[in-house]
Amino acid sequence: MAEIKKVTSVQHFISSALFDIEREEKKALKHFSKLASAKLREFTLDWYNKTEARQSGSSYERTYEFLNSITIGEISYIKGRWEVPIYYDPTKMTLGINNGWRQHEDRYYLSEIIEYGWQVGNKNIEGSEAKFQTMEWAEEFQNFLKSMKESFESDGFRIK
């Protein structure tokens, strides 16, 4: 809820209002980043569920460490704009042997490999495009505005 403050001048009122709006804006962006993170997870999981290894019933076992590595970084204001980092964190994936193959051996490039796909012999494995789909979802004007509006309204701001 927005706090009612006693102001002593127009300048004090303006600076106080700007401070409140900037604080609430960052809070709203945190809310939106959680929604975007959930979308990235959803798009990635959709891709996981469509892969051949999953459908073929092979002995391949998923660890879901890649999926669970989705991370929301610190929101920051840089050069006149807010940056909301959402990414796959390779340090959350462990190295190991999984049914004869080296699990996460290339974990620092894994998000790009999965995003864009790869070639195995003559076979082309389609990428997930999960990051692309998440950015596309986030850039849809209504999704972003709706999220921001809901966050501001939950804190007592009247938005029209």
Q: Are 86 and 75 in contact (CB under 8 A)?
A: no
- Over range 35-58, report the average pLDDT: 79
Question: Using CA atoms, how far apart are residues 25 and 9, in angstroms rounded to an integer?
Answer: 24
Assign 74 a pLDDT band (cuts: 50, 70, 90).
very high
Residue 141: its pLDDT value, please? 58
- What are the extents of the domains in the chain? 27-154
pLDDT tens readout for residues 12-36: 878 877 777 778 888 888 888 999 9
Report, as an integer, the average pLDDT of 69-77: 92
148 touches 20 (CB < 8 A) = no
Q: Indicate if the alpha-carbon torsion angle 29, 30, 35, 41 is positive or negative.
A: positive
